[in-house]
Amino acid sequence: MLRYVGTRLWQSVLTLVLASLVVFIGVRQLPGDPALAMAGEEATPEQLAAVRSSLGLDKSLPEQYLAFLGRMFRGDFGNSTRTGTPVTDLIATTLPVTLWLAAYAIVVAIIVGIAFGVIAERFRGRWPEWLTNAFALIGLSVPNFWLGILAILYLAVTLGLFPASGYVDVSREPVRGLYYLTLPAIILGTSLAAVIMRQTRASMIETMSTDYVRTANAKGLGAGRVLFRYGLRNSLIVVVTIVGLQLGGLISGAVVTERIFALPGFGKLTLDAVFTRDYPVIQAVVLIITLSYIVINLAVDVLYSVINPRIRVGGNN
Amino acid sequence: MAITEIRPAGLGSARGRIWKSLHGSPLGLAGGAMLVVVVLVAVLAPLIAPYSPSEVHFATPFQKPGTVGFLLGTDDLGRDIFSRMVYGVRASLEVGALCVLLSVVIGTPLGLLAGYWRWLDAAVSRLTDVTLAFPFLIIAVGLAAISGPSLANAAIALGIAHIPTMIRVVRGETLRIKESDFVLGAQTMDASGLRIIFTHVLPNAASAIIVQATVIMPVAVIGEALLSFLGLGIQPPTPSLGIMLSDAQQYIFRSPTAAIFPGIGIALICLAFNLFGDALRDAFDPTSSSRK
């Protein structure tokens, strides 16, 4: 167990270093000269050289990479070229919005996904299964940003059930904050719910036909108990994996969901940075998302091995 | 026995079985039929669309669907929504096909090598880990920052993002096939590794690769629409279903239908691929879980 965690930890560190190298090289490919942008078009060559050396751009590439790593470790991402505010401040104000949204969406997706998956398995070949299957197909085929637009149009504007846009800080006003986030979270969670539903159904079908479930049924355990103790427990492994695997999609989905519902989150920060060529912000955003993604994947793998002792690193598949 | 059953020609000899299985799946057939229509629309776009997708009719903006001359109405600039959708479908499939091509061309060889030679496995695994560390939107953001948003960059970002899954699928298949009797037989007869990979492993992994391609395609189509919606993909005035949605959101209360049709278009394309892909997977793999 410890050895497994150690191996995964080492792999993650390696991945982090490689990923940071990719970002470092990527940032150097960006068009435009940061020194020139900072010093202004009318700068004399001397001024330009001074700015260049103050930014450390006159050093060798490996030196610059190490300096870059050092700054990242200290959490120093520089200042936004657009507003002049420290990038860290921008992240501190926008990241919580996205985290609340993502967490809410994951909760919605897990509840709906597992419930529908169980329904589909319990009612195989009857109308509840077709209904949940239709839901899964729609969830996978319909882009969530379109669902979001439709939801604003019909649920928010026509029926007035939810606010069409806007954000209330959840940590200050939890009830109103979550109410404002409900529609975005449902929209963001739909495709995840569809994937979880399909996997839950498949894993339930497999588990419920195993010998130990037959034994449990034969010795007279109640249907509910068999379902929860055997069927759902195995499905949990699947759900953990799926949520882990789908996190990348969730991050992308959050960006677009924020755009549709005008939420002041990380996604909005990212898009604004791209369109205004705010490179310090882009660099920070890419690094932070990459880092959290690697860490979460590591956590998922460790959790996975805790839930299911059959899985260990270096397995053949 | 096993040797005659899973010969390299397995794909060919199974063709009859696959056809039969597809015939027995009405949803799969419907998906296949939809797919044919979608591809025809994309290929014959100039013949089907009544107007050029960027032709503006300033006198007739916000026409309702069913207006004479404009089947699905017009947008804020009076452009024909039907014509723009036809060309948008074409753009969606272009990006989707490029993305699938990229992931197959790069993912398949890497998966084969990693699965066949254990010493290569670790290196390829690190490569997939690093690629997986970047969500596709972040790759797209990076590419857009470096060389500006475009159709090609959208396809490359989506393609790169799907290479790891393709590698994993092919690697898994290779590991499985490597243990079969006919590969062991070839190894005892001193066949070279590359020869075994190409004559024994690849043909047997083909069905998994094709199924994976049908899984990637709808995801790529949605990905293109999403990137274009955000302004990171195809650039106006080139029509894309994503751009149409993003435009339509600005005047959604004036003309809600302009936001509804492009979404239906995307959904139908994805539905076609998902249905057909599911049926194909069931046909290739009789033990597949989605089979009743």
What local confidence, expressed as pLDDT, does residue A108 receive? 94
Has residue B74 been placed in a domain? Answer: yes
In A, which residues are within 8 Å of B136 by CB distance? 248, 252
What local confidence, expressed as pLDDT, does residue B122 receive? 85
Name the band, by pLDDT with cuts 50, 70 and 90, for residue A312: low
Amino acid letter for position B95: V
Domain count, chain B: 1
Nearest CA-CA partner of B8 in B204, B206, B184: B204
What local confidence, expressed as pLDDT, does residue A186 receive? 92
> Taking residues A138-167, what's their average pLDDT?
82
What local confidence, expressed as pLDDT, does residue B201 receive? 85
Structure tokens at B160: 């790169």
> Taking residues A303-312, what's their average pLDDT?
66
> Taking residues A136-153, what's their average pLDDT?
83
In B, which residues are within 8 Å of A317 by CB distance? 172, 175-176
Q: What percent of chain A has pLDDT over 90?
A: 8
Q: How close B184 gets to chain A, by Cα (Å)?
A: 17
Pairwise CB contact (< 8 Å): B145 & A22? no
More confident residue, A10 or B12: A10
Using CA atoms, how far apart are residues B174 and B203, in angstroms rounded to an integer? 11
Using CA atoms, how far apart are residues B41 and B47, in angstroms rounded to an integer? 9
The CATH code of the domain that includes B196 is: 1.10.3720.10
Contacting B residues, span 228-247, partner chain A, CB-CB under 8 Å: 229-232, 245
Q: How far is CA B206 from the centre of its chain?
A: 16
What local confidence, expressed as pLDDT, does residue A314 receive? 47
Pairwise CB contact (< 8 Å): B145 & A15? no
Structure tokens at B60: 């007739």
What local confidence, expressed as pLDDT, does residue A272 receive? 87
What local confidence, expressed as pLDDT, does residue B291 receive? 40
In the predicted model, is pLDDT for residue A315 greater than 50? no
What local confidence, expressed as pLDDT, does residue A316 receive? 40
Has residue B256 been placed in a domain? Answer: yes
Pairwise CB contact (< 8 Å): A285 & B230? no
Work out the end-to-end distance of chain B between its first and last CA atoms, rounded to an integer number of angstroms.
28
Using CA atoms, how far apart are residues A88 and A101, in angstroms rounded to an integer? 20
Contacting B residues, span 170-189, partner chain A, CB-CB under 8 Å: 172, 175-176
Using CA atoms, how far apart are residues A204 and B273, in angstroms rounded to an integer? 26
Q: Give which of B35, B132, B156, B271 to mutate to test A binding, by max A Cβ within 10 Å.
A: B132
Has residue B234 been placed in a domain? Answer: yes
Q: Give the pLDDT confidence of A238-276 residue by residue, as tens digits.
A: 777 777 777 767 877 888 899 888 899 888 898 888 888
Instruction: Number of A to B CB contacts under 8 A, please give it.
Output: 134
Q: Locate the chain A residue with the closest alpha carbon to B221.
A: A143
More confident residue, A55 or B57: B57
Cβ neighbours of residue B144 under 8 Å, at least 6 residues apart? A274, B153, B232
Q: Give which of A149, A238, A258 to mutate to test B binding, by max B Cβ within 10 Å.
A: A149
In B, which residues are within 8 Å of A285 by CB distance? 138, 141
Q: Enumerate residue ranges in chain B where pLDDT < 50.
A: 1-12, 289-292
What local confidence, expressed as pLDDT, does residue B109 receive? 93
Has residue B126 been placed in a domain? Answer: yes
> Taking residues A28-50, what's their average pLDDT?
74
Q: Are B169 and B208 in contact (CB under 8 A)?
A: yes
Domain annotation for chain A: domains and CATH numbers: 32-76 (no CATH), 87-315 (1.10.3720.10)
What local confidence, expressed as pLDDT, does residue B106 receive? 94
Range of the domain at B264: 51-272
Nearest CA-CA partner of A20 in A53, A63, A66: A66
Has residue B266 been placed in a domain? Answer: yes
What local confidence, expressed as pLDDT, does residue B167 receive? 92
Q: Are B111 and B97 in contact (CB under 8 A)?
A: no
What local confidence, expressed as pLDDT, does residue B17 receive? 66
